């Protein structure tokens, strides 16, 4: 089975540009999570969706960040305009809310997108 797919794997952009990160969760999973990881702050949850509906976006740093999940197999995280402090690895993860699957906390992470904003 395919795991969580993220694209692009690497992105280098200039300050002020729009950046769009993409994620395809594991088929059948009903939770999708966006995380950001930096050396200074560690792994932080930005937003998560359940059945395509945003449940908690309290981790989204500011209005420059937005996330959408138009259907069960696709989500985007957009940064507009990007700033150098947005440089980080952005992970998407998905999970399935059943006891057999271990609950929503048993998350499967994608390989991440390494973003560098110059």
Partner 1 sequence: RKEVEQDPGPFNVPEGATVAFNCTYSNSASQSFFWYRQDCRKEPKLLMSVYSSGNEDGRFTAQLNRASQYISLLIRDSKLSDSATYLCATSNTGKLIFGQGTTLQVKP
The stretch among 18-26, 63-71, 75-83, 110-118 that binds partner 1 (CB under 8 A) is 110-118
Assess contact for 61 and 67: CB atoms under 8 A: no
Among 112, 115, 116, 118, binds partner 1 (CB under 8 A): 112
Assess contact for 1 and 66: CB atoms under 8 A: no
Assess contact for 78 and 20: CB atoms under 8 A: yes
Residue closest to 59 by CA, chosen among 82, 91, 81, 84: 91
Site map (CB under 8 A) of partner 1, residues 56-95, x = contact: x----------------------------------x----
Query: Would you count residue 54 as binding partner 1 (CB under 8 A)?
Result: no
The stretch among 18-26, 63-71, 78-86, 99-107 that binds partner 1 (CB under 8 A) is 99-107
Among 75, 82, 94, 107, binds partner 1 (CB under 8 A): 107
Distances, alpha carbon 20 to alpha carbons 9, 88, 101, 102, in Å = 12, 14, 30, 31
Helix (H, G, I), strand (E, B) or coil at 77: strand
Give 3 or 16: the residue with its C-beta nearer to partner 1.
3
Rg (C-alpha) for the chain, rounded Å, is 14
Q: Which residues bind partner 1 (CB under 8 A)?
A: 31, 33, 42-45, 48, 50, 55-56, 91, 97, 102-112
């Amino acid at each position: 089975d395919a795991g969580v797919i993220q694209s692009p794997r690497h992105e280098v952009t200039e300050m002020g540009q729009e950046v769009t990160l993409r994620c395809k969760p594991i088929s059948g999973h009903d939770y999708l999570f966006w995380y950001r990881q930096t050396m200074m702050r560690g792994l932080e949850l930005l937003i998560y969706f359940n059945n395509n509906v945003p449940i908690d976006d309290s981790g989204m740093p500011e209005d420059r960040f937005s996330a959408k999940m138009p259907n069960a197999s696709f989500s985007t995280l957009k940064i507009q305009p990007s700033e150098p402090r947005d440089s980080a690895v952005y992970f998407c993860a998905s999970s399935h809310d059943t006891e057999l699957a271990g609950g929503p906390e048993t998350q499967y992470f994608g390989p991440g997108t390494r973003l560098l904003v110059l």
